[in-house]
Structure 1
Amino acid sequence: MRPLHVAVVGAESSGKSWLTKSLASALLNRGQEAHIVDDVLGQWYQREGRTPLRFEQMAIAQQQADTTQWLRRSAPEAWLLSDSTPLVTAVYSQILFDDESLYPMALAHHGLYHVTLVTGLDLPGVANGLERVSPQVSRHFDTLVRQALEHSGIAYRVVYGQGQKRLNNALLALGLESDDDAAQQVRDQGQFAINQGRSLWQCNDCSDPTCEHTLFSRLLKRRATFKS
């Protein structure tokens, strides 16, 4: 399979870094070259110990984009896995400062990725020492990032599950075989069953690109119709 440039986005403590590193490790174990673009915003928080001010947000987003572009040029034939993108900074800037000015730059950059993985909110919260966001903010972030992707026509896949199950779902979402043959068989059989109307499908067992993505799209359309 041709190497892809993959964006991993999601709310705080939703497992972005773990998933990015686990995907890179799985690819390397398969003999693939893979590089990670680190989360610039997360590194900034850890270094400064505070929330970036409004005027500092664009520089952080631009550094994330520049680092990604540099790696794209340096290793054009390798997998590139981005732990967050400028879109994450743009969404937090809207939440914290009601500032939507970062979206044009962030979404233009996001068009460079082949696949976008959105980390689901099914993981238990993990404290990072800064206590930046609440569960309510995480849910708000999740909605805003999906809306931004939807309105820009950028396809995405939502990844659920914990541990190996989450990694397997992400690999399947990328069109790769899972690290666990049994997990892939369960998923394929379950999807066949729901398509035949014989079983209910659980979102945290799926990560099918046409599943929750489609449901969320329909929800947005219903809201738009109601408002009009």
Structure 2
Amino acid sequence: MALVVTLLGGESTGKTSLTRALCGHLAETGLAAAEVPEHLRHWCEQQGRAPHAHEQAALAREQARITDEVASRQGVDIVIADTSPLVIAAYSELYFNDRSLWSEALAWQRHVDLTLLMGLDLPWVADGFFRDSPAVRDAVDTAIRRELRAAGQAFQTIHGHGQARTEQALRAIGRRLGLNLTTTEPSQTSGRRAWNCEKCSDPDCEHRLFSGLIARNNTGDTRP
């Protein structure tokens, strides 16, 4: 089985862009990387609408099935999945007040090798009926964090813009593989000194760090 990496987050958190960037870079290193697109988005494009409550479970299971199928293909080293059933479970709770999908989604997520949660530091961009608002994005993030923490599921939050974001994700993947996959040192990916705990998987620690960074930036303080 290939190493499975899932990117979690609500709308406009950069999951698709990061998925493509990671697959492109990993291929350049000689690793066979396979992309798993977001099934929910594909379904919405085909149907021309958002799913109803009774359709959510099937969509979540299909996302899991596709990811498992790609991971089992011969010759695939790494799978980068642009979402997981957890995101659909969050939408089900948010839109339909239905928490029934969390248990199955978390059970599947436990078998994932690396869970990366997209930070909320990217600007929200409208995208037709596929995206609602920054408030929805924040609510999805809150729900996913809550359930991952409650289940004791390790995850790492990925922050940064452009190449800095890609490099941070590559460092996380590289640690799982015992390889150096990045093209730059951590301190070269941004204008400030690398965070000492930037790469830990403690979500509370990460959240405090990111909140402090926002507060300093709002006061014009650019120190690390």
| TM-score, length-scaled by structure 1 | 0.80
Give the partner amino acid of 1:53: H
User: What does 1:50-65 align with in structure 2 at a 5 Å threshold?
Assistant: 50-65=49-64
SS in 2 for 1:209: coil
Question: Once the 2 structures are TM-superposed, how far is the Cα of residue 184 of structure 1 from its aligned partner?
Answer: 4.6
Q: What is the distance in 1 between the residues matched to 2:130 and 2:56?
A: 19
Which whole-Å CA distance do the structure 1 matches of 2:171 and 2:187 have between them? 8
- Partner Cα distance (2:141, 2:56) in 1: 19
Unmatched 5+ residue regions in structure 1? Answer: 196-205, 218-228
Q: Determine the structure 2 residue equivalent to 1:69.
A: 68
Verify the 8 A CA contact 1:20 1:82 in the aligned structure 2: yes
CA distance in 2, matches of 1:114, 1:191: 24
CA contact (8 A) 2:167 2:183 kept: yes
What letter is aligned with 1:214? C
Q: CA deviation at 1:173?
A: 2.2
State the match for 2:154 in structure 1.
155
Change (3 A) 1:213 1:36: farther
Secondary structure of the equivalent of 1:74?
A: coil
Q: Provide the rounded CA distance (Å) in 1 between the counterparts of 2:7 and 2:183.
A: 22
Q: Paired residue for 1:190?
A: 194
The structural deviation recorded for 1:76 is 6.9
The alignment's TM-score, normalised by the length of structure 2, stands at: 0.82
How many aligned residue pairs are there? Answer: 203
Q: Which amino acid aligns with 2:52?
A: L
- Residue 89 (structure 2) pairs with residue 85 (structure 1): no
Which residue type is aligned with residue 205 of structure 2? T
In structure 2, stretches of 5+ residues that fail to align are 209-224
Given the superposition, is the C-alpha separation of residues 125 and 216 from structure 1 closer, same or farther in structure 2, using an over 3 Å criterion?
A: closer
Q: Which amino acid aligns with 1:181?
A: T
User: Matched residues, percent identical?
Assistant: 34
CA RMSD between the two structures: 2.5
Are the aligned partners of 2:157 and 2:206 in contact in 1 as well (CA < 8 Å)? no
Q: Quick one: which amino acid aligns to residue 15 of structure 1?
A: G
Distance 1:179 1:111 in 2: 26
Give the Cα–Cα distance (whole angstroms) in 2 for the partners of residues 213 and 21 of structure 1: 28
Identify if the C-alpha distance between structure 1 residues 147 and 58 changes in structure 2 by more than 3 Å, giving closer, same or farther. same
Instruction: Give me the whole-angstrom Cα distance separating, in 2, the residues matched to 1:164 and 1:29.
Output: 15
SS in structure 2 of the partner of residue 166 of structure 1: helix
Residue 139 of structure 1 corresponds to 138
Match of 1:203 in 2: none
AA aligned to 1:165 is A
Distance 1:34 1:51 in 2: 30
